[in-house]
Structure 1
Amino acid sequence: MNGTDASCTYDSDRGSNHGPRHIHVLVKVRLSNFEFICTVMYASPRFHERCILWNNLKNVSNLHDKPWIIAGDFNEVLAEGDKFGGRCISFNRSLIFEECIDHSNMIDMGFVGPHFTWTNRRNITDLVQERIDRFFANPSWYASHPNARVTHLTRYLSFLGIFMEAWSRTRSLRESIENFSRKASDWNKHHFGNIFGRKKRVMARLNGIQKAIASHPSHSLNEMEKTLHEELNTLLEQEEEFWVQKSCINRLIEGDRNTAFHHMSTIVRRRRNKISCIKNYIGEWIQSEVRTMNFIRGGFEKLFTTSLEFAPLTPPQPSRWQAALSNEEKENLSVVVTDAEIKDGLWALKAFKAPGLMAFMRGFFKDFALLWEIW
């Protein structure tokens, strides 16, 4: 944080090898004498471990009288209205949680935005939604920050979430990649959206905002223009990455947003790779697409077939002038390739070179190094 010094002290509940569940941080504001305790947590999904955490919070509240704020995933609902679908809430568990909050003299800071912070993303018949992420503050912290508020951001399935859901140890590598391709296409269509359409809409909104500012300037319009500029910059970076990948060339200047250049490079590369006509064995040009395909296929068939009806059973003896493998080299051919060697070979390739048989560029596997743990 700007303008603050923060010293961290850890107080953790390790219950059953699940690691620390909360961290207490003493925050000292550099420009004033104000200091407060900030507790961040991820409560265990197991009820008996959450009870240990609630007792820890009550013990901490008895040890100080400083301003205090607690935030995180509590994995418990406080009221019936904090849950939709699934089993009814356990009032005994909610009362134990509420007793902890009351003992610590905490106030729920409320929220703006969507009511629920977690969902199982199922169909409506099996849908479960809960408000389990909260911010609590004691009166002394509230008095120092009367305008503080909590905003629930819009939930969306991240690309990393798509990646994690698509891969499974029970599937083969090819099945996992095919599964990921389907899920990524759906995510691109329903969540990420078309880059060019989004850019066009943002540009239109920005144009309207700038016209409004010219005639009736205001603080809200100015802030909205800043927000739209940030969104436009993000879209421009995405557009740049899109055309760099399409053009399959190295970036001349890192961060140069010259999308027109990359777009033209893509068109030139496609035109250069396209076979519009081909010359046959007698020097005639073949321009028909079907005849061109048949000619190329026939060439490969002649290359990999033979007119011999049989082959000798004993291979010919190599000449003493012919290159041969040593015994050590022959043994090395049968050695199993390690994961580290595969990774080193893959990492040595350029990120945006042409995709392989699985239709993914090398950069995909580099960015998601978790793939090696799944393998």
Structure 2
Amino acid sequence: MVAVTDQFIAVDMNWDGKVVRLIFIYTKCDYILRRELLLSLGQLMSSSFPVIFVGDYNIVKNEEERAGGLPVTRVAKNDFIQFIDSHGLYDLPFLGSKFTWFSNCNGSMIWERLDRALTNHACLDQFPNSIVNHLERSHSDHAPLLIQLVDPRRSSPSPFRFQRMWLQHPLFLHVIAESWNRECHLSGLQRMAFKLKRLKGDLKLWNKVVFGNIFQRLNDARDKILLLENQLLSDDSVTKELMELKCSYDHLLLQEEIYRKQQSRVKWLEEGDRNTALFNAMARENQQKIHVSEIMGPSCILTDTQQILGAAVEFFKSHLDREIESGRDLSPMLSLVPNLVTSEDNEMLLSVISKHEVYDAVKGIPEDSAPSPNGFSSSSYIHAWAIISDDLIAAVQEFFAGALCADALGASIISLIQTKDKLNTFLDFRPISIC
């Protein structure tokens, strides 16, 4: 037991060897007492372990969280929103009814979402896919809340993604050159596809053996800095080693920031300003948005991750594999299309693609854009241009000469874009192709 008042009970519990602080809340309706509660809750925050504030807040964040009754005062909502924003809290996604409280006063029905679970960054780091279930009401006008803390354990290996933080390593281009220049007897598109596949395997191995886990390296550097700082009190001979270690630590922080920014897809902030916390928060928020905990399948509601994945594949496969009607004579419609391409335009379009055109096309793709299906982004091509340019240009020229594209280069990822805040069926996704 950490603290007890007439508005909350705070306890620390052990969950699978991890400390989790739970604060159970019942907020008074009085405005002054609610403000006192929010101030008290802020003192129970911690950045070192997960904290979950769960219960009845007796307030909504916006008008979409209520139906019926009188509007909520702006001051009350602003206090609640300021509490959430100032402490960097996240509203856990929920399953079930949109509203958690119901009242039928004198024939006037009011529905509101008064109950919720708010978490801090540490909770999202350790349990990124956690959700809240709004259970059915029985003897109370409030719906019970069931919190599911979900570990980030993967059921399948994560796909390869080129990491821009690798560019900070002094041996990165050497690794690229060593892999790319190894013997290969193919040509054109097949040569490019083979070398990219080989490079992907080499980078995976190099990342694991040489580059290492950036977060473990940061923790090790922090521990060593603390050790040397304590040693410096009695032995000033470690001064040079400590300064070198701090320089190395700053370099690791930059690598972490680059990694976090790439994960967050934030494009309006520059690297180097220590925006790591913001990038991490944005990445976690993005991950929460794309996580599907529940959806209607062919015959029932699906909650198991593997069942959802399997049903999604079958649903979109049946839609996208439909045969296109053929055999129709389209010649009458061709007469309606005006001839706008001149002979000079046609000659220009049929000319051989130059090295400068290929480079300008690659350079024109933002370095922080999404990678292609093989995991490589434009950043990887730009920074290794001196090494890979001859093979890339030959592949592009062969493609425009009419050669068949290799399967590895012509692959496409079907990405599902969510069209509604609350997903019900797979029809609430819009599939797009990412080449």
TM-score (norm: length of structure 2)? 0.43
Q: Which has the higher strand share?
A: 2
**Whose RCO is larger (CA < 8 A, sep 6+)?**
2
TM-score (norm: length of structure 1)? 0.50
Q: Which has the larger radius of gyration?
A: 1
